[in-house]
Amino acid sequence: MWSSANGAIALKIKVSPNAQRDSIANVANDELIIKINAAPEKGRANAALIAFMAKTFKIAKRDIIIASGESARRKLLRMPDTPILRERLEALSKNYAKDKL
């Protein structure tokens, strides 16, 4: 789902646009599944995704980069490797791993 190198975290995500609300839905197939309320038109869903990730992981929006998949549902995000981000990603991984047992 995520890896760390050179002070940055690369996070694999799958976006589901047009959701009722922004939320982390699940972890599946080594991807974080994110539901975004915005429509995938004119970059609105990408902007909403970046805003949601910034708020959720307490990172500045300018520090979140869509490294690949800008026009696709599957994306690779790059964010600074911070203790808060690492802690929350590990907790998400554990919580969703428990659901599979």
Query: Does the structure show a pLDDT above 60 at 99?
Result: no
- Give 50's contacts (C-beta < 8 A, 6+ positions apart): 61, 64, 66
Report pLDDT for 97: 66
Each residue's pLDDT tens digit, 6-29: 999 999 999 999 999 999 999 888
Q: How many domains, in total, are found in the chain?
A: 1
Each residue's pLDDT tens digit, 66-93: 999 999 999 999 999 999 899 999 998 8
Among 30, 19, 7, residue whose Cα is nearest residue 52: 19
pTM above 0.85, yes or no: yes
Give the domain range for residue 30: 2-100
**Tell me, what CATH number does 58's domain have?**
3.30.1200.10
Q: What is the dihedral of CA 8, 32, 45, 84, to 10 degrees?
A: -40
